[in-house]
Amino acid sequence: MVKIIPYASAYLASYQDFARRNWGKNCYQQSEKYLDWLYRANPYKDPDRPFLIAVQEQTVVGALHKMRLPWLIDGQKTTVSAIHNLLVDPQYRQGSGLLLITASFQNESQVLCPGVLPPLSEAYKMLRCQEIDALWFRKIIAPVGAVAEKICKLPLPPREKRKTSARLIDTPGTAQIETMAAKLNQGAGNHILWDAEIFQWRFLQGPRHIFLVEDADNFLILSVGRRKGLTVARIIDGRVENEHSPLWTDALIAARSRGAAVLLAYSAETRLKKYLTAHTKPLKKHPLVFFQHRDRRAREMSFNGSAGDFGFEGLLTRRFS
């Protein structure tokens, strides 16, 4: 019988075997760097329940990860878990996935559930989770190169670097971090409560990111990594108050210069959604995003990809040069 239990280090080898079976031998999910960053270095970690695993006779056959971040909800600081990387071995999928989801809701007042596809999305609706009005974007940067990269299974070489209008920063200083964190906190609705500590953990200690900074009111945060045989760049977060800002063009230049074949983004924050929509069409078919509230009351939620596992493939990306 399959049991749902909190992960413990005694299951590391079995979990890594499971991850390689399901996500691939070089997946970031099997990396100890991923586990250390997410469950040991995180200032808001839950040491007693880092993430959940499904176990059959001491063998890991399923997993559901979570990332804990501070949020401001109903004017009060709280910790929200964003669940991600739900996967179960094929022979155990009848019901085990739903058990992992419902177990992840226990002892949690709020849970973010991003990137949900059918038929799993029906389960979240059945559990009365709030569906979030998020938009998803995809811009193909190098169509021919993307096909070649997929076939050859090798990353595209970085292209000749064009100069961006905004400053391109690999590692921002303390003052820049504090300014960006303060700006990200100005969004309407319930949102992540950024400070220098959690900003550094999310963007500088784990997956690699680059920062495009036009000025204090206009900046984007990007990741670059390998996913499903492609090098992908993602707009993870940012603040854009100038509707004529060149940051979209700068993001394409920065992504292209690092060998990315595609630029991805999703947003549930009003300003960034409006800015991205002005430059590219949102996807008509896309994953769904849900929020589970213990009190079942729908709220205005404002966040971007950084609230979940968007860009985690950047954990295996070397430092940008």
321 occurs within a structural domain: no
* C-alpha span between 115 and 83 (Å, rounded): 10
Amino acid occupying residue 23: W
Judge whether 238 and 250 are in contact, CB under 8 Å.
Answer: no
311 occurs within a structural domain: yes
Per residue in 210-255, pLDDT tens? Answer: 999 999 999 999 999 998 889 999 999 999 999 999 999 999 999 9
Of residues 229 and 37, the one with the higher pLDDT is 37
Q: Is 310 helix (H, G, I), strand (E, B) or coil?
A: coil
Average per-residue pLDDT for the chain: 92
Rounded to 5 degrees, φ, ψ at 74 are 55, 35
Say yes or no: 169 and 36 in one domain. Answer: no
When pLDDT is averaged across residues 142-164 and rounded to a whole number, the result is 59
Say yes or no: 65 and 156 in one domain. Answer: no
38 occurs within a structural domain: yes
127 occurs within a structural domain: no
Say yes or no: 141 and 97 in one domain. Answer: no
Q: Is the peptide bond before 119 cis (omega within 30 degrees of 0)?
A: yes
Q: Which of 108, 124, 152 is the last residue of a domain?
A: 108
280 occurs within a structural domain: yes
Judge whether 213 and 167 are in contact, CB under 8 Å.
Answer: yes
Say yes or no: 213 and 82 in one domain. Answer: no
Instruction: Write the DSSP symbol of residue 247.
Output: H
The pTM (predicted TM-score) of the whole model is: 0.92
Per residue in 128-137, pLDDT tens? Answer: 999 999 999 9
Say yes or no: 95 and 139 in one domain. Answer: no
Residue with tokens 């680059």: 210
* CATH assignment at residue 184: 3.40.630
Q: Which two tokens stand for residue 212?
A: 């495009």
Say yes or no: 89 and 143 in one domain. Answer: no
Query: Residue 173's domain spans which residues?
Result: 135-286+300-316
When pLDDT is averaged across residues 136-151 and rounded to a whole number, the result is 70
When pLDDT is averaged across residues 161-176 and rounded to a whole number, the result is 90
* C-alpha span between 98 and 14 (Å, rounded): 21
* CATH assignment at residue 60: 3.40.630.30
Q: Does the pLDDT of residue 161 top 70, yes or no?
A: no
Judge whether 300 and 105 are in contact, CB under 8 Å.
Answer: no
* Number of domains present in the structure of the chain: 2
